[in-house]
Amino acid sequence: GQKVAFVGESGSGKSTIVALLERFYDPTSGRVLLNGEDIRTLEGSPQCVRSIFGYVGQEPILFAASIKDNLAYGLPHTPTDEEIKAACKRANVHSFISSLPEGYNTYCGSSSGGGSQISGGQKQRVAIARALLRNPQILLLDEATSALDNESELMVQETIDGLQRTSQLTTISIAHRLSTIRNSDIIFVMKSGCLVEQGTHEELIGKPQGVYNSLVAAQQAAASEANKGGRPSLVRQESTASSSVASHGG
């Protein structure tokens, strides 16, 4: 049930971590361990390794099919209606789907083709439910809220926070907006493909010259400029007056 986050500037290597975990390619040196075992030695193909993970990306993809078919897409078995509803309740999207005239049979194609208009936040919740329906051991969130507006981001983040509070599901978050990972059990800070810092939010923000502290300061400055134009922001002001902890090189 641990909450893990990877942060860093664009190109720092965050999404490469996801690719290595799911064995889209293997490391040229070193190892990726799962419960102490090299994932390259686990029984089965890379597809078997990927079955351990549920993945939610930046852009939610819904196919031209019903919500029910979208939820079941890619599963090795046909889920029951009860399994589908249970996953949607965990993703906090069941009530919304049930409120639609056709419910789970609502068509998700373009509006011009008769499809239902579903907001970005609701689409992302459906994507989370689809990942949960796989019954994964680890949920990978690859900048899952970065493409959403503030209102939708809050909606989806509440869903993610609820999952982390109420289940033993391990979550690994790749994040650009630092406000979304402040409650993580451990945060790994990437720079130029290397791990340069690690710790909790409070520990990392207490390093005045640290990379994480600089990232927070930059987002605060951007939020301040946005607020001048009347645009609300999710970035919270932080105090840098905190005890320092040793930096871990990578």
- Write out pLDDT tens, residues 210-242: 999 999 998 888 777 777 765 444 444 443 333
Contact, 4 vs 170, CB < 8 A?
yes
Residue 238 falls within a domain, yes or no? no
Distance CA 94, CA 175 (A): 26
Torsion sign, CA atoms 220, 151, 158, 173: negative
d(CA 159, CA 165): 10
Rounded Cα–Cα distance for residues 247 and 241 (Å): 17
Q: pLDDT tens-digit profile of 54-82?
A: 999 988 888 889 999 999 998 888 999 99
Let me know if residue 239 belongs to a domain: no
CATH for 146: 3.40.50.300
Residues near 98 by beta carbon (within 8 Å), at least 6 away in sequence: none
Does 250 fall in a domain? no
* Top-confidence residue, 122 or 197: 197
For residue 11, give its domain range. 3-228
Q: Is 249 inside any structural domain?
A: no
Q: What is the pTM of this model?
A: 0.81
Distance CA(187)–CA(175), nearest Å, equals: 10
Task: Please give the sequence-ordered ranges of beta strands (E in DSSP) within 57-152, or none if there are none.
Answer: 138-142
Q: Rounded CA gap, 27 and 138, in Å? A: 20
Residue 111 lies in a domain: yes
Flag whether 240 is in a domain: no
What total number of domains does the chain contain?
1
Q: Residue 134: count other Cβ atoms within 10 Å of its Cβ.
A: 19
Q: Find all residues with CB under 8 Å of 89, minimum gap 6, and list them.
A: none
> Residue type at 138?
I
Average pLDDT over residues 98-117: 78
Task: Answer yes or no: is 127 within a domain.
Answer: yes
Does an H or E element contain 191, and which?
strand 186-191
Judge whether 129 and 90 are in contact, CB under 8 Å.
Answer: yes
Average pLDDT over the chain reads 84
Residue 236 within a domain: no
Contacts of 124 (CB under 8 A, 6+ apart): 56, 60, 144, 145, 148, 152, 156
Q: Specify the residue for token string 């999952």.
A: 163
